[in-house]
Amino acid sequence: MNKRFYSLLFFAVCVQVTALFAQATGAPAAPPATPPPPAVDHSYKPLTLKLNDSGSKYVRFIMWHQIWATATQNNPGTKDINGKLIDGSDGADKAWSTDLAIRRSRFLAYAQISPRCLILTHWGINNQSFINGATAPNGPNAASGGNQGKKPQLFIHDAWTEFEVAKDKLYLGAGLHYWNGVSRLSSQSTLNFMTMDAPIFNWHNIEVTDQFARQFGIYAKGQLGRLDYRVALNKPFASGTAPGAVAKNGVAVNVLNENWATAGYVNWMFWDKESNKLPFFMGSYLGGKKVFNIGAGWYSHPDASLYKSADGRDSSYQNQLALGADVYIDLPLNKTKGTALNFSATYYNFNYGTNYIRNIGILNLHTAAPPTTESWAGAGNAQPTIGTGSIIYAQAGYLLPKLKNGTAFMPYATFTHKNFERLADPSSQFGLGLNYFVTGHNAKLTLEYQTRPVYQLNGTDIVRNGSRGELILQTHIFL
């Protein structure tokens, strides 16, 4: 027993001496167990400034950038800024142009200054590349002299005020506004496209008698049960050719005039109701809502076009009328996995005057080059976009199950069929894309390949001559 007692005592003394020695020599003691770090919160928190304790009065701020990296297969006959042919006719490796550009850089603020009064301001820039974005001495996008692509003009997109007449049912507003008619896509938000971007013809007067899809006007909007509506009386911008300078070629063109225009859009909400606090329609709710809407609308501008026949015997002012009808579905499939389906289809019927047509190329690197024999629409990525005739447009996307880190992929496809009066042949084109949602629509990457038709002049006819493509990678972040 004594030996056992002395052994335990000796062991206790050794342990104590070791601890004292470690303390004296500064040897670190074993660290206490620490709890795991809390999970990082990546959810979106709106930038809102409360103006009273209840939060019924507030200011909301939104800012966003959309950056494009593009690889464009140029139209036949395209030349670079030095006049060198780069259309691929002398080597396929030269057919493509690449660029990094700002598609949109915007800032928006709106304030509910009282329960019945709202004010909104929205400004920014669009479409700045190494050559586009500023005005050189020889005209827009000229390839010599001036700032060329540098220092684009910062301008107002929206500036309007609104007053509540009857809660939910009727609101009246005025200013430079985006409460457009014709279709859902005509008032599409640029923050939450299901695709990478809009098809452009959805903004039926883009940069002619509007200011980037906005016009001055007075509007009324509201919801009567499941009927959502917006109507407007607008004063379009004076943009076009002076009547005396219109060519006698059998093609109607925009002409200067002071006439008012009307616009409207109504849609019936079969499932979940959408908010109409702001004019911007959602592209995709990513399964957050169950939406099924059918809508229709119009835009009418009297005597906005002037037509002069080639023989000089006929000269007449013609109205511009755009009609649209659409269906929109956003359907959650499996809320646990986060899967959802998005689909929309739109039919447009444009009557802008006899043979009226416009060729447009978004972030076109070679707009300075004139139309060529090989490409009637012009150089770069220009294509027939808006004109008298009809357009069918459809898009569909499938939101795949969320990954473990909360991100998700969404492949999608688009289809467009255009049948314009001035062209001998209709055209069909498609787009294939993939969204990668890092934090929903607030932070995402989009890769899309899209085709476009190429037309050439064959005698007096404008005929289809194949197609070309474009690959675009977009980074999109908004707060």
Structural domains in the chain plus CATH codes: 45-478 (2.40.160.10)
- The amino acid sitting at 124 is G
Closest alpha carbon to 156 in 192, 119, 115, 121: 121
CB atoms within 10 A of CB 138: 12
Asked if 393 and 290 touch (Cβ cutoff 8 Å), the reply is no
How far, in Å, CA of 157 to CA of 178, rounded?
9
**What integer pLDDT is reported at residue 365 of this predicted model?**
84
Q: What is the pLDDT of residues 363-417, one digit of tens each?
A: 998 866 666 678 999 999 999 999 999 999 999 999 999 999 999 999 999 999 9
Asked if 217 and 205 touch (Cβ cutoff 8 Å), the reply is no
Quickly list DSSP for 182-198: S-SGGGB-SSS-SSSS-
Q: What is the pLDDT of residues 123-174, one digit of tens each?
A: 999 999 998 887 544 444 444 445 678 999 899 999 999 999 999 999 999 9
How far, in Å, CA of 129 to CA of 193, rounded?
22
How far, in Å, CA of 43 to CA of 450, rounded?
32
pLDDT at 224 over 90: yes
Helix (H, G, I), strand (E, B) or coil at 283: coil
Structure tokens at 239: 């943009």
**What integer pLDDT is reported at residue 84 of this predicted model?**
84
pLDDT at 427 over 90: yes
Could you give the angle at the alpha carbon of 253 between the alpha carbons of 251 and 254, nearest 5°?
170
**What integer pLDDT is reported at residue 25 of this predicted model?**
45
Q: What is the pLDDT of residues 271-282, one digit of tens each?
A: 999 999 999 999
> Mean pLDDT in the chain?
90
Quickly list DSSP for 82-142: TS-B-SSTT-GGGSEEEEEEEEEEEEEEEEEEETTEEEEEEEEEEEE-SSSSSEETTEET-
Asked if 110 and 118 touch (Cβ cutoff 8 Å), the reply is yes
What torsion, rounded to 10 degrees, do the Cα atoms 274, 280, 286, 287 define?
Answer: 0
Q: Stretch 99-104: mean pLDDT, rounded? A: 97
- Tokens 């047509």, residue? 357
Asked if 405 and 338 touch (Cβ cutoff 8 Å), the reply is no
| pTM score | 0.89
Q: What is the pLDDT of residues 233-258, one digit of tens each?
A: 999 999 999 999 999 999 999 999 99
How far, in Å, CA of 441 to CA of 77, rounded?
39
